[in-house]
Chain A
Amino acid sequence: MTDNASALQLLLSGDPELFAIVRLSLQVSLSAVLFATLIGLPTGAFLALVRFAGREPIIVVLNALMGLPPVVAGLAIFLLLSRSGPLGGLGLLFTPQAMVVAQTLLVTPIIAALARQTIEDLWVEYRDELAAMDVGPLRRIATLIWDARFSLVTALLAGWGRAAAEVGAIIIVGGNIQGFTRTMTTAIALETSKGDLPLAIGLGMILMSIVILINALAWLARRAGERYAG
């Protein structure tokens, strides 16, 4: 009870460090979603529309990667960005950028796989009509993405939810450095280990609110989709 009360107090006091942690969490996860969208959406559209040898194994792997354990993603990016690794020269390990890279790796398969499914389903439905209207390949992709936009936004939000809530990848590549790479999830892990439960609970409450917000947005996207697209 007292833990919860002091957690609330902490939130209401508007502690600047707390604010910085929340802001970094949002910056990192949203940047990851942006990059994952730039990579995953075209990849999903390509896999949905183009038939080539090896396409189906790629789809199976992509679907499996939706469940990629964050620590594995973290480890892979750690080895990649470590000074002794192939991209060590960039000096990105233990920076927010490294966390964005790791979360992009986590989120891209989600967006690509969901986009592939959504676009392919719509493509099956639209194929004949678009062929009959003599719609060229670029305009075809644009049409499918635009008409699937509400489902695609839901896919982006699913990706964001995963990024905002994970700790395994960013704690490895970010190092949980105070004031630099400490996010809500890594701070919760740290404060819990310090036995400072009020701060952990306070951050947990903010994180939960954000997750609820993400789901509310997903719900609104679905509803808007029904309203505009039937």
Chain B
Amino acid sequence: MFNRRCIIAAAVLCAAALAAPAHAQDKSIVVASTTSTQDSGLFEYLLPIFKQKTGITVKVVALGTGQALDVGRRGDADVVFVHAKEQEEKFLAEGHGVKRFPVMYNDFVLIGPMDDPAGVKGMKDAARAFRAIKDKQADFISRGDRSGTHSAELKLWKIAGIDIAKERGPWYKEIGQGMGAALNTAQADNAYVLSDRGTWIHFKNKGNLAILVEGDKRMFNQYGVMLVNPAKHPNVKKELGQEFIDWLVSPEGQKAIANYKINGQQLFFPDADDPNA
């Protein structure tokens, strides 16, 4: 008797599981995006506004920029919304995307322990700060996951004149995980880490970490959005996807992005009107 009742209960729940998503699928798109947009809380703010206006449910799969683009390459997303311009242009060149629209930027900040063993606090030159960290062999956490933040970090090492692949030591740790995980690790290890400002402000487990270096133009972080090419992947919901992109770059969408604030701080700066972004 016992197992019969179990099976019936399971069958009912199962039927519910299969029935539930049917209506959710009516008008929805899959957006492959980055952990920074999710972890910073931007989507939780933007998507309900968009849904109210259009009735379209946006399902966000948050990955590193590299992985997000891969998901787009396989045709598993309708839209990609990432922040690594070179990789995005390669994606377009391969024919996986239709057109890239600049949407907004935020900036990276160098986070580190308040006692600042490498003495970088207040520097305006990010490259100098990176050199100081390397010279002091101060612990540094790298995302190591081909994300936009990872690319930005690698670019900064390069600008600092350091070939990190060769000159790294035990002080340099690649964790291969998202932004939040990197911040958690840095908090536990008393280490330096490059983070996007949005995730940092939203991050709740700050401990003794603080922003040490900010404001260097080379630490700006540009986001772009692209429709996955329907010519290559016929299943792409091009109308709905394009509607989302059009809204993001419309005055209304841009205003919504500018309006997203935590503790009165604006996290993302819309720049859809800047053709070079």
Q: Which residues of A contact B (CB under 8 A)?
A: 24, 26-28, 30-31, 33-35, 37, 82-85, 88-89, 91, 93-97, 100, 149-150, 152-153, 156, 175-178, 180-181, 190, 192-197, 221, 224
Question: How distant is the Cα of A124 from the Cα of B116 in the complex, in angstroms?
Answer: 70
Residues of B near A197 (CB, < 8 A) are 204-205
Could you say which of B14, B73, B177, B178 contacts A34, with CB atoms under 8 Å apart?
A: B14
- What is the chain B residue whose CB lies nearest that of A181? B59
User: Is B115 in the interface zone, CB < 8 Å from A?
Assistant: no
Which A residues are in CB contact (< 8 Å) with B160? none
Stretch of B5-13, B101-109, B120-128, B251-259 with 4 or more beta carbons under 8 angstroms from chain A: B5-13
28 A–B contacts, CB within 8 A, in A order: A26-B13, A27-B13, A28-B17, A30-B14, A30-B17, A31-B14, A31-B17, A34-B14, A82-B75, A83-B233, A84-B73, A94-B76, A97-B21, A175-B30, A176-B62, A177-B61, A178-B43, A192-B184, A193-B35, A193-B181, A194-B39, A194-B180, A194-B204, A195-B180, A195-B183, A195-B204, A197-B204, A221-B2
- Separation of A196 and B199 alpha carbons in the complex (Å): 12
- Contact partners of A190 in chain B: CB under 8 A: 38, 180
- Which A-chain residue is minimally distant from B184 (CB atoms)? A195
With A84-B75, A177-B30, A195-B203 known, 12 other A-B pairs at CB within 8 A are A30-B9, A83-B75, A83-B76, A88-B235, A94-B59, A97-B18, A153-B2, A156-B3, A176-B61, A180-B57, A194-B204, A195-B206
In the docked arrangement, what's the CA distance between A94 and B177, Å?
A: 20
| Smallest beta-carbon distance B17→chain A, Å | 4
Contacts of A95 in B (CB 8 A): 21, 25
- Bound-state Cα–Cα, A197 to B203, Å: 10
Contacts of B138 in A (CB 8 A): none
Asked whether, in the complex, the Cβ of B206 is within 8 Å of the Cβ of A27, the reply is no
By a CB distance below 8 angstroms, the chain B residues around A100 are: 17
Q: Is B60 in contact with chain A by the CB < 8 A criterion? A: yes
For B183, the chain A residues whose CB sits under 8 A away are 195
Q: Indicate the member of A35, A84, A175, A193 with the most B CB atoms within 10 Å.
A: A193
CB < 8 Å neighbour of A96 from B17, B74, B205: B17
Residue among A31, A152, A175, A193 making CB contact with B10, cutoff 8 Å: A31
Chain B nearest Cβ from A108, distance in angstroms: 15
Looking at chain B's contact residues, the main secondary structure is helix
CB neighbours (8 Å) of A152 from chain B are 3
Number of interface residues of B (CB under 8 A): 47
Q: A34-B7, A180-B21 are in contact. Are A82 and B74 (CB under 8 A)?
A: yes
User: Provided the pairs A28-B17, A96-B17, A149-B3 are in contact, do residues A180 and B59 lie with their beta carbons within 8 angstroms?
Assistant: yes
Whether A83 contacts B184 by the Cβ 8 Å rule is no
Q: Tell me whether A177 and B184 are in contact in the complex, defined as CB-CB below 8 angstroms, given that A30-B14, A193-B35 are known contacts.
A: no
Which one of A27, A28, A91, A96 contacts B235 once the chains associate, using CB atoms below 8 Å? A91
Does B165 sit at the interface, judged by CB under 8 A?
A: no
A37-B7, A176-B61 given; A193·B177 CB < 8 A = yes
Q: Once bound together, how far apart are the Cα atoms of A35 and B15, in whole Å?
A: 12
Give the chain A neighbours of B184 by CB distance below 8 A: 192-193, 195
A150 to B24 CA separation, bound complex (whole angstroms)? 39
B6 adjacent to A27 (CB under 8 Å) = no
- The contact of A178 among B18, B60, B204, by CB within 8 Å, is B60
**Chain A residues within 8 Å of B21, by CB:** 95-97, 180
Best-surrounded residue of B2, B39, B177, B179 (most CB of chain A within 10 A): B2
- Which of A33, A34, A221 is the most central at the interface, judged by chain B CB atoms within 10 Å of its CB? A34
Chain B nearest Cβ from A76, distance in angstroms: 15
**Quick one: which of A27, A85, A93, A149 contacts B17, CB cutoff 8 A?**
A27
Residues of A within 8 A of B204 (CB): 194-197
